[in-house]
Amino acid sequence: MKITTSRTPIKEVVKDASMLKQKEMMAAHYDRLANAKENGEKVASTFVPGNLNELIMCFDLVNNLPEVNAIQSGLRRKSGSYVMEAEKAGHSEDVCTYVKSDIGMMAKGNIGPNGKKLPDPDVLLLSYTGCFTFMKWFELLREQYQCETIFLQTPYMADGKVTPNMIQYMVKQLKEDVIPKLERVSGVKFDIDRLREYLRKSARAEDDLVYILQSAKNKPSPIDAYFGGIYYVGPIFGAFRGTDDAIDFYRFLREEVDQRIAAGLGPVTPDGPMADEKYRLVVEGPPNYTNFRQFWKMFYEEGAVVVASSYSKVGGTYDFGFRHDPDRPLETLAEYCLGVYTNRSLPMRVDMLTNYMNEYEADGLLINSIKSCNSFSAGQLLIMREVEKRTGKPAAFIETDLVDPRYFSAANVKNRLESYFQMVEQKRSGSGKGVAA
């Protein structure tokens, strides 16, 4: 199933067939967005954590995700200039760079990854969870687009549980505010059976996603659950959850993973299949996108594979049993939002990472702390010490940024990683102490 592109003078990047399939899906989606106005389609902008894609589809709206656009800008090395553009316009150097990348991109014509202009949204669906910055972000976009803005608040799971008050609050918001406004904007009447159908499809793809993510329990792991994980979660976190495309994609990916397990193969990296699995890591925190390949390479070159990551749960946490439930359509949307990783309390995050360390038989925890993301970063040093204490495995801390290249220092990160791998090695051979790198 693997496609290794033939060697050319410039080394080509190796991609799984699933990655190529995903690329096609994304390209089609960006084209749909670019042509939305021409085709008479309306566009809803919304967020990955709290993405109500099934509901959006009920109103024939096209889902546009500014975060994904920021990632694309990061990967294409455009985000640096966008961030600076936003700073020139008066945004502080201290705040979330996703927001600034998005605002800078708008200022520079809002050109999407396919080189075509992204449409102005018809509605901002301010459904967010796990981060206050989202609220400010869409207030900023609303100022720009002056369009209808629909708000859905997700309470924080501070005490480690979902209470009936939380669910009732969210369902009421959906019924009394979100849905009527979406009907008004789209001109499409809400049909709960249509929603149920999409939710049913979501759950099918979610089953396969969980299978894929948990395949990392194998040794060697057939996937990388952080760098590769970003590709794996792409469709389900984005505009495809609830679609047949997502079902097909995850089924296809699952087969691919099964074949790798059967062949005893490790993950596919941009330089081809990873040879030797030397270190199994759990990673907490988002990646850096401006130097994504370089960053990944620092891992696979050393034989480090990420077997579980918290970032692959920012758009939904499915591995503890949650599935979208067509029989409780609005409640399930609420539960989905509530369960997103960054909406979980710090003690819950510690439990989750500790669980990953044990279940996936990891050698250590690595935290990639993102300079501009308070939601993830505030508290990570305590998380690190706590997981280390509970598992007896070494942890390390590196600092980068999502899309601001000024905060990616390759030399520093590499040094830190190298000494960390040495520490893992020592710890494994019983000679080292479990101290943080």
User: What residues line the site for ligand SF4 (CB under 6 A)?
Assistant: 96, 98, 131, 133-134, 342, 373-376, 402
Q: Does 158 contact another protein by CB under 8 A?
A: yes
Q: Which of residues 88, 108, 161, 172 is near another protein by CB under 8 A?
A: 172
Q: Does 89 bind another protein (CB under 8 A)?
A: yes
Q: In angstroms, what is the C-alpha Rg of the chain?
A: 21
Helix then strand count (H, E) for the chain reads: 17, 10
Task: Render the burial of 31-69: b for 16+ CB within 10 Å, e for the rest.
Answer: ebbbebeeeebbbbbbbbbbbbbbbbbbbebbbbbbbbb
Determine which residue in the list 155, 270, 273, 434 makes contact with another protein, applying CB under 8 A.
155
What are the residues whose beta carbons fall under 8 Å from the beta carbon of 21, sequence distance 6 or more? 249, 252
| Closer residue to ligand SF4 in complex, CB, 151/252 | 151
Contact (Cβ atoms closer than 8 angstroms) between residue 334 and residue 151: no
Residue 168 binds to another protein (criterion: CB under 8 A):
yes
Give which of 40, 91, 39, 100 is closest to 69, Cα–Cα.
100
CB-wise, 300 or 341, nearer to ligand SF4? 341
Q: Tell me if 131 sits within 8 A of 342, measured CB to CB.
A: yes
Say how many C-beta atoms besides its own lie within 10 A of residue 148's C-beta: 16
Instruction: Report what 134 binds from ligand SF4, another protein, none; CB cut-off 5-8 Å by kind.
Output: ligand SF4
The strand pair at 272-273 and 148-153 is best described as unpaired
Pattern of binders to another protein over 98-117, x per CB under 8 A? -x------------------
- For residues 133 and 149, which CB has a smaller minimum distance to ligand SF4 in the complex? 133
Instruction: Output 214 or 377, the one with its CB closest to ligand SF4.
Output: 377
CB 372, min distance to ligand SF4, A? 7
Nearest distance from C-beta of residue 339 to another protein, angstroms: 16
Question: Between 58 and 96, whose beta carbon lies closer to another protein?
Answer: 96
Element (H, E) at 340: none
CA–CA separation, 407 and 372 (whole Å): 10
Residues near another protein, by CB under 8 A: 89-92, 94-96, 99, 131-133, 135-137, 139-140, 142-143, 146, 149, 151, 153, 155-156, 158-159, 165-166, 168-169, 172-173, 176-177, 345-350, 369, 371-372, 374-375, 377-382, 386, 399
